[in-house]
Structure 1
């Protein structure tokens, strides 16, 4: 291996993790709010960050930090996410030394925070990708999966012994969405565990500030996932099936389909995002309903409340903590001047607890009339493509579990995932029979 090839991963880690990690820790000790969020998110569940969200809102609707602007205001988060003055992701200035080093050391292949990922592309490419994916990922297609999702939920629960302790995060919350998305995308049953393992290993790729060991593990997982996905797409090209990914391979817009890299990036994101966030939704929902028995009783007595209960879960403990945007031109947000190339951190979980929008935001209330106004699926052109699927899986998965085991009790030992962006349970011990 050439010296240059050995140096690139080191530079990638230093620019994306090593230097930011050190700088954020120093700034956090000095009281910088965004840096404190970075530090505390690594050790606290989302509910433990609500005091910091309140403190950020108390400083202003948009607060200038040491490295970026930050907001926990519902109105400002929505304005930034939907506005044309901002683009997705953190984009270094290509003319500066940091940008030139980033470009030189950029990884070849898949990364969710690198083009052509839908997460960080903008029109016209983003529009083209999204049109093709939307064609095969419609609300009607999702609703047609409802009965099958319920079957899978029952099959998973059939495999559990109600008399024995169980880890719901590993045996139910993770397996339900990965089975559903695997069937949608034509993944053979014998390969689904591998997809789940690779997706879980790659989940920290959304985070900043990884250690060198974590960074290398993530990059290895991404390389392995790319290799698996390439082989899977080749199988579907030679033997298309009745699944959405086979349709995406064949999809055309004005006679033009996705290139091989675009297809891998889009399919990989749909596959990974199709279960990673829903795993968190299910785990967070189980914990919230368990800890609020009056609310659980309400949905049991009135099953029509389940869709609203899922949105209240998404509001109260969202699967994604925050997202970032880069300012494209000098502008003004909430009366605060924001210069070109500035970074803005939009705290989705903070916006979901904004008292200007949600009365008594710390209360979990399945009857909340405006629960659906949460921003857990982002907003604007980057609104989550899988929102309908996540809502349906959350509703079915939680209803089936609590219908079958109304006396379910969580037991000590639950642990949260160590990722800062994706928020959920790594383990959720329980006894199904109470």
Structure 2
């Protein structure tokens, strides 16, 4: 079952949603929630379904952070960073930077007529933005990518019940040294350090780093694939709607984990205190009760903002608007500078926790 959830989960998730929307899966050693309304209920109720549990995968790699704490401690960790992720602040600080970085990256390969856009555009852009935000802009891009690859791989191993290797801890140790060295520069880290202890700053910065890279890279890669598979929607004016529909159809973060704080009934299931409750954002976003013809890419849907790719409730993704900004400018740059762009090879997303294509090979008419 883990293999099916990793590679091609949609038929299984649809069957569970229709017959057993809160299902016990021995392979996950927990409950899987697949219906949109039940997903909302779990994510909104942090008192009953918490992230604050020693088994929480990300906390086991980077330590306690806003991602793995609830109630007052969650607010204490999140607030020093949250003020910088308001839409106006994001536009003022990052719009010009993202435009310049997208232009630089695309111009670097535009004459070739072919490229692999996940590693040539989506990944490097995500790294550059996170590095700038965290004061790591003098750190080699390949090193930052290696850190996040190791951390995400370790989180995946833990989520799948595998014994993690040492790479994640080693990568976090290197990241910790670099983040500690960035305190004092103009960055989110510096301001947070005036409120939080340094280990807390580091843990939250690590969450922002691998969240900002992994999910944004996946979001841009998935969006490019959806648009290039459906060229009738390759319209610059339609990009904001295409972003929301791509997020609905294939959220870069496929699941979020919670732990029951008490015995509770949910969707016909009797959940015991301490049980793992995993919400499938992928399944909730394809719930036909909310999104008719859920497997069809349709940027004209009237209710696109009901998609749950950024989660919901107190743990709604802090960087959602920054990720949207990066995705929009990346696609606009591609459409403006790569005429006749099309997929050169099939591309399919995969992943248990984080879903994206292994590669996005494209071709276009070189100028």
TM-score (norm 2): 0.90
Match of 1:267 in 2: 205
Distance verdict in 2 for CA 1:227–1:111, change over 3 Å: farther
1:113-128 to 2 correspondences below 5 Å: 115-128=63-76
Q: For the Cα contact (< 8 Å) 2:349–2:358, is it kept in 1?
A: yes
1:53 is aligned to 2:4 = no
Match of 2:217 among 264, 279, 282: 279
1:133 is aligned to 2:81 = yes
Deviation, 1:430, is 1.6
Match of 2:196 in 1: 258
Q: For the Cα contact (< 8 Å) 1:112–1:205, is it kept in 2?
A: no
Q: For the Cα contact (< 8 Å) 1:409–1:433, is it kept in 2?
A: no
1:329 is aligned to 2:267 = no
Match of 1:39 in 2: 3
Distance verdict in 2 for CA 1:410–1:420, change over 3 Å: same
Distance verdict in 2 for CA 1:190–1:330, change over 3 Å: closer
Deviation, 1:168, is 1.1
Deviation, 1:372, is 1.3
1:227-306 to 2 correspondences below 5 Å: 227-234=174-181, 236-237=182-183, 240-250=184-194, 257-296=195-234, 299-300=235-236, 303=237, 305-306=238-239
1:416 and 1:355 mapped to 2: Cα distance?
21
Deviation, 1:182, is 1.2
1:89 and 1:362 mapped to 2: Cα distance?
34
* Structure 2: tracts of 5 or more residues without a match: none
2:196 and 2:228 mapped to 1: Cα distance?
44
Deviations 1:339-360 (A, max 9, x none): 2112212100000000010111
Match of 1:172 in 2: 121
Q: For the Cα contact (< 8 Å) 1:310–1:391, is it kept in 2?
A: yes
Distance verdict in 2 for CA 1:89–1:51, change over 3 Å: farther
- Bigger shift: residues 268-277 or 181-190: 181-190
Deviation, 1:69, is 2.1
Match of 1:318 among 238, 248, 251: 251
Q: For the Cα contact (< 8 Å) 2:106–2:333, is it kept in 1?
A: no
Question: Does the residue aligned with 2:288 lie in a helix, a strand or coil?
Answer: coil
Match of 1:143 in 2: 91
1:347 and 1:246 mapped to 2: Cα distance?
35
Aligned length in residues: 360
Deviation, 1:268, is 1.1
Deviations 1:13-42 (A, max 9, x none): xxxxxxxxxxxxxxxxxxxxxxx2x22133
Question: Does the residue aligned with 1:390 lie in a helix, a strand or coil?
Answer: helix
Match of 1:32 in 2: none
Deviation, 1:247, is 2.0
1:77 is aligned to 2:26 = no
Deviations 1:161-197 (A, max 9, x none): 4334311111111011111121122213442321122
Match of 1:351 in 2: 284
1:426 and 1:247 mapped to 2: Cα distance?
36
1:307 and 1:400 mapped to 2: Cα distance?
14
Deviations 1:362-413 (A, max 9, x none): 1111111111111111111111111111111111111211222241122226
Match of 1:366 in 2: 299
Q: For the Cα contact (< 8 Å) 2:251–2:355, is it kept in 1?
A: yes
User: Between Structure 1 and Structure 2, whose CA radius of gyration is higher?
Assistant: 1
1:194 is aligned to 2:143 = yes
Question: Does the residue aligned with 1:421 lie in a helix, a strand or coil?
Answer: coil
Deviations 1:207-252 (A, max 9, x none): 233766xx32xx3243233333324323x33xx23322222223xx
1:262 and 1:243 mapped to 2: Cα distance?
16
TM-score (norm 1): 0.77
1:191 and 1:111 mapped to 2: Cα distance?
26
Match of 1:95 in 2: none
Distance verdict in 2 for CA 1:143–1:155, change over 3 Å: same
Question: Does the residue aligned with 1:159 lie in a helix, a strand or coil?
Answer: helix
Match of 1:86 in 2: 49
Deviation, 1:415, is 6.8
Q: For the Cα contact (< 8 Å) 1:90–1:326, is it kept in 2?
A: yes
1:428 and 1:276 mapped to 2: Cα distance?
15
1:386 is aligned to 2:312 = no
Distance verdict in 2 for CA 1:89–1:363, change over 3 Å: farther
